[in-house]
Amino acid sequence: MEEQQMMAIAEAILFIAGDPVPVRSIAEVLDIDVDAAQSLMEKMLEAYALQPRGLQLIRINDAYQLVTRPEYGEYIRKFTGATKEQPLSRACLETLAIIAYNQPVTKADIEQLRGVKCDHAIAVLLEKNLIREVGRLDAPGKPKLYGTTELFLKSFGLSDINDLPPLEQQQGS
Amino acid sequence: MEEQQMMAIAEAILFIAGDPVPVRSIAEVLDIDVDAAQSLMEKMLEAYALQPRGLQLIRINDAYQLVTRPEYGEYIRKFTGATKEQPLSRACLETLAIIAYNQPVTKADIEQLRGVKCDHAIAVLLEKNLIREVGRLDAPGKPKLYGTTELFLKSFGLSDINDLPPLEQQQGS
Amino acid sequence: MGYQVRLEVFEGPLDLLLHLIAKAKINIEDISISEITAQYMDYLSQMQALDIDIASEFMVMAATLLHIKSSKLLPKPVQQSEEQEPDPQQQLIERLKQYKKYKDAGEWLHERYMVYSNMYSKLPEEVVDTAEDVKFSNVTKQDIAQTMMALLDKKNTSQQSQTVVRNIKPEPISLHERINQLAALIVRRGKVLFSQLVSRKFSRLYVVVTFLALLEMVNRGWVAVQQSRPFSDIFIQRKGLKWKNSR
């Protein structure tokens, strides 16, 4: 395959993922070896840097991510401000509730329920040690499964996960 | 502001939004009038089309959206594990064609044209959200009128309903 | 199942007629009613021989064809008035021409669909106000439950009002399969809400099959279900010995 086409495919994948994509996954999808994928991505990173665009490619350890350029933050805030800005704790609480009641659960499941990307909230919850990775789903891409931690139980005064209030009782009120 | 910079901002906004963004919102964020935003986006659409990229800009009625190029769908599915969209049955396609070209249209009209009952095809198209009820005919029995949806436009790569080729042209075969 | 015979499937009588016309390599305008009628009847009798249900539309068309054919054989009645009935053969030709247009447009749509259903979009980014710190110190387990409930509510209402983007794939699924799927899920989760089993990407058929599967599982004593009031969500929980050691 031509290099340019491979870059186009990588771009499409990074776009869909939104998250950092390990160079290994890019290699897998393109059916090339990891070194080749690595150098492809480095070239792409340079190409992106040279173009006057709204997006940029960044590298985080062995992964690449498509993000908006920081200099346009003000406009993005203007755009999203018109819709609604969510406080972080709200986003995290929703994400935590979904994980607590549905564990083990993938990020895609959480996002499906919330209708927005949840990377940030998941990162914060992981960092606070309220959730953890409990395995990987046996599906293509092997997505991570999340569950709650002991600290979660302790923090909310639960002896075990079945202590969570049943959902249907509240619905009446 | 320079045009190139405005395009970059629009790109960043489309990336953040994910969903189609009305041209009005783009105008607002850039603080320009709607016509200017419209022509900016059309220029951007062309620029995107010319570049060998993984993404493309599409217009659906008065909104713009960033999506991956159809030719890389297979790679996206490999990456996400999604399954390929099933083709629509011939009954559905014929029914959809009749609705697209004659909307708003009743079931009786469709059945008259096709010479068979169309309940099942209509139910499937409604469920797939390719068509919707747009009202009722002011006639005995008040039959439902059907029309196509935005998803129809998107699924068939049409910017608006006028993008459909004239019916006569097809007759050649 | 016995032997299988391939018989071309037609979308209706008009579709069958177009097929016969194409096979005869003639223009729609030039159809010979007696030939076409013979072939049409032949096809219907093949269907009958194979025990295929013949939709009433096919029979109606057969009657129309026979009517046209017979009226051609009969001497023309004396013209009573200028405003006589339109020529049924001409009417049929018009219908066929109209139908062909949409059949071709359908093919065009098919090609487009195969291309453009390959376009993917991304989920919106969540924009959070990072200035605010996350404090869970005064959040209780009730808050978690309430949050989850609000999410499910929101999802339900957005389901009702939403008119855009919904991708549904045909899901050929058997009751048996669905029971196995649900069992696998319940082994993992222990408890689950019915609404979680049937997210909006599923068809009505899928929901019905899921519900039947659930009833069957209740019947087998595998699960206990609770519903606090009519139309509220159904809470499903593992029950009985089936699940012992399977965790």
The pLDDT-based confidence of A156 (bands split at 50, 70, 90) is: confident
Those residues of chain B that have pLDDT short of 70 are 169-173
Domains of chain A in start order, with CATH, are: 3-72 (1.10.10.10), 90-163 (1.10.10.10)
Q: Is the pLDDT of residue A64 over 50?
A: yes
Picking from C121, C123, C163, C166 by the largest number of B CB atoms within 10 A of its own CB, the best residue to mutate is: C121
- In tens, the pLDDT along A32-42 reads 999 999 999 99
The pLDDT score that the predictor gives to residue A92 is 87
DSSP state of C200: T
- Is residue A104 within 8 Å of A147, Cβ to Cβ? yes
Start-end of CATH 1.10.10.580 domains in chain C: 175-246
The pLDDT score that the predictor gives to residue A171 is 42
The pLDDT score that the predictor gives to residue C161 is 40
Q: Provide mean pLDDT across the span A59-83.
A: 85
Give residues 29 to 88 of B whose Cβ lies within 8 Å of A: 29-30, 52-55, 66, 68-69, 72, 75-76, 78-81
Picking from C128, C193, C235 by the largest number of A CB atoms within 10 A of its own CB, the best residue to mutate is: C128
The pLDDT-based confidence of C190 (bands split at 50, 70, 90) is: confident
Q: Inspect the interface and report whether the beta carbons of B127 and C121 lie closer than 8 Å.
A: no
Q: Is the peptide bond before A104 cis (omega within 30 degrees of 0)?
A: yes
The pLDDT score that the predictor gives to residue B130 is 94
Cα Rg of chain C (Å, integer): 30
Q: Provide mean pLDDT across the span C68-92.
A: 73
Which stretch, A40-54, C26-40, C139-153, has highest mean pLDDT?
Answer: A40-54
DSSP state of B105: B
Q: Provide mean pLDDT across the span C21-25.
A: 87
The pLDDT score that the predictor gives to residue C216 is 81
Range in A38-42, A60-64, C160-164, C197-201 with the lowest mean pLDDT: C160-164
The pLDDT-based confidence of A170 (bands split at 50, 70, 90) is: very low
In C, minimum Cα distance to B134 occurs at: C163
Percent of chain C with pLDDT over 90: 8
| Model ipTM value | 0.75
Residues whose CB is less than 8 angstroms from the CB of residue A67 and which lie 6 or more positions away in sequence, other chains included: A55, A56, A58
> Which of A12, A25, A69 lies nearest to residue B72, judging by beta carbons?
A12
Which phi and psi (to 5°) does residue A151 adopt? -60, -35
Which stretch, B40-44, C11-15, C97-101, C228-232, has highest mean pLDDT?
Answer: B40-44
- In tens, the pLDDT along A78-126 reads 888 755 556 667 888 889 999 998 888 888 888 888 888 888 889 889 9
CATH architecture of the domain with range C175-246: Orthogonal Bundle (1.10)
The pLDDT-based confidence of C201 (bands split at 50, 70, 90) is: low
The pLDDT-based confidence of A169 (bands split at 50, 70, 90) is: very low
Strand (E) or helix (H) holding A152: helix A150-155
CA–CA dist B76, A26 (Å, integer): 11
Q: Which residue has the higher pLDDT, C243 or A54?
A: A54
Strand (E) or helix (H) holding A121: helix A119-127
Give residues 64 to 103 of B whose Cβ lies within 8 Å of C: 65-74, 76, 80, 83-88, 90-91, 93-94, 96-98, 100-101
The pLDDT score that the predictor gives to residue C131 is 61
In C, minimum Cα distance to B112 occurs at: C95
DSSP state of C7: -
The pLDDT score that the predictor gives to residue C126 is 75
The pLDDT score that the predictor gives to residue A99 is 92
Q: Which residue has the higher pLDDT, B119 or C154?
A: B119
Q: Inspect the interface and report whether the beta carbons of C99 and B115 lie closer than 8 Å.
A: yes
* Minimal CA separation from C228 to chain A, in Å: 6
Give residues 113 to 172 of A whose Cβ lies within 8 Å of C: 113-121, 124, 128, 130, 155-158, 162-172
The pLDDT score that the predictor gives to residue C2 is 41
